[in-house]
Amino acid sequence: MSKRVVIVGMGFGGIKAAEALASSDLEVLCLDRRNYHLFQPLLYQVATATLNLESIAHPVRAIMRGKKNVRFQLAEVQKVNLDEKKLQTAQGEISYDYLILGAGSVTNHFGMTSIADYAYDLKQLNDAVALRNHILAIFERASVETDPAVRDALLTFAVVGAGPTGTEFSGSLIELIQVLSKDFPMIAPKDCKVILIEAMGAVLPPFSEKSQKYAEKKLRDLGVDVRLNTAVKGVTLAAENGTKTDLIQFGDGTTLPMFTLLWAAGVKAAPLADALDVPKQRGGRVIVDQNWAITDHPEAFVVGDMAWYELEDGKPLPGVAPVAVQSGEYVANFIKAAVKGQTIKPFKYFDKGKMAIIGRRVAVAEIGSSPKGIKMTGIRAWLAWLGVHVALMAGVRNRVLTIVNWVWDYLFMDRQLRLLTHEGDKVHNETF
């Protein structure tokens, strides 16, 4: 009887592990509470009306079609019993011989409940749709608002966190505002404020200083108000502060009137990590050994954002797609070797670099590990970013749809997906 491998989470790591195990004699069961694989790096483009939902999501069953030893089941794992090698789901108990956990990460609000209740984030498909609806609804409301202070707050868009998500969203939002100003002639682009707020002293903290300065300059050139060394401590609603606008509270005691807040300032391990009574590190990430296995459980592995994998210098690998892909593939190969009584070489991470797009023909790209890696800016980096993201997407149809939307946007500076599908969806302070 073949041994069973259960993979929890169909993100980058889980999908790669399943594909690597597809040619083996093992029984592979994939579990996820969603029936699709989500390309999270492009969620912000759904939120800013560049791409539609179908462009960045692909059915898991379609990905696994034709892989005879791989089966998918729609289920949410509620408990993990590592000692008995069993998982508890709403559909019942599932046993395993080997376990791969790749449930990813969720937004970290660092204990600030007012931020958690108020802010938008970009981790799920519904998050992007809700934010897009909110932005469009805000413009509808601002177009008829007669109170100058309220109108100004409506057209103030605060983005907290100047990592890749916050930076890319800010640049894309500026471009969306330019498009929307054609639909709303009473709202000029100069009436809108996009404020990028970062607690540290630079945008794109993981990048080199040269790339950081380039990105900051280009953001400012686009019209983004970049505020560095600025900490956010909460949100006060209009009903609580006696004004007509909601307020962001800063660490220095100042406030900012607004109605739109995107939180992109940090992530933590998915809630499934809380169900594991094992050693964890910062952000609730599960500590794993050199084979990505959980301490004292060599048959259970954690890959991707949920894992805390330390390199020889003591630094953890970041929670990015290349890490998830490489860890998922390695664990699959490790399991295949273990079943045969063999071993494989220790895991070695290949740093392919990092990229961030800022606007049309403007991006930064650092290919390979520093300091020997190649650093690019401008149109070369922009083209590299486009190529890499298309290549990483699942499904030919998704790639084609994405390219078509990008080409249309580039040629006509027009975003066709400006549909307010849920009127008044989470419009703060008032609804329509």
* 4-33+75-107+267-339, CATH topology level: FAD/NAD(P)-binding domain (3.50.50)
Sign of torsion over alpha carbons 173, 177, 179, 180: positive
> What pLDDT, on a 0 to 100 scale, did the predictor assign at position 206?
86
Residue of 54, 84, 168, 312 marked active site: 168
Q: Mean pLDDT over residues 325-347, rounded?
A: 95
Contact status, residue 67 vs residue 25, Cβ threshold 8 Å: no
Answer yes or no: 76 catalytic: no
pLDDT band at 394 (very low <50, low <70, confident <90, very high): confident
Q: Look at 286 and 206; give whichever has higher pLDDT.
A: 286
State yes or no: pLDDT of 266 exceeds 60.
Answer: yes
Q: Look at 389 and 409; give whichever has higher pLDDT.
A: 389
Look up the pTM and report it.
0.92
> What pLDDT, on a 0 to 100 scale, did the predictor assign at position 370?
60
* CATH number among 3.50.50.100, 3.40.640.10, 3.90.600.10, 3.40.50.300, domain 113-265: 3.50.50.100
Separation between Cα atoms, residue 184 and residue 131, nearest integer Å: 19
State yes or no: pLDDT of 222 exceeds 90.
Answer: yes
Token look-up 């608002």 returns: 145
Separation between Cα atoms, residue 376 and residue 164, nearest integer Å: 16
Which tokens is 324 given? 């998830």
Mean pLDDT, the chain, integer: 92
Render pLDDT for 93-139 as a digit per residue (tens, 0 to 9). 999 999 999 999 999 999 999 999 999 999 999 999 999 999 999 99
State yes or no: pLDDT of 431 exceeds 50.
Answer: no
Sign of torsion over alpha carbons 367, 370, 371, 375: positive
Token look-up 């696994």 returns: 64
State yes or no: pLDDT of 414 exceeds 90.
Answer: no
Render pLDDT for 168-218 as a digit per residue (tens, 0 to 9). 999 999 999 999 999 999 999 999 999 999 999 999 998 999 999 999 999
Which tokens is 272 given? 């499934």
Q: Residues with Cβ < 8 Å from 371, sequence gap 6 or more? A: none
CATH 3.50.50.100 domain position(s) in the chain: 113-265
Alpha carbon 89 to its chain centroid, in Å, reads: 26
CATH 3.50.50.60 domain position(s) in the chain: 4-33+75-107+267-339
State yes or no: pLDDT of 367 exceeds 90.
Answer: no
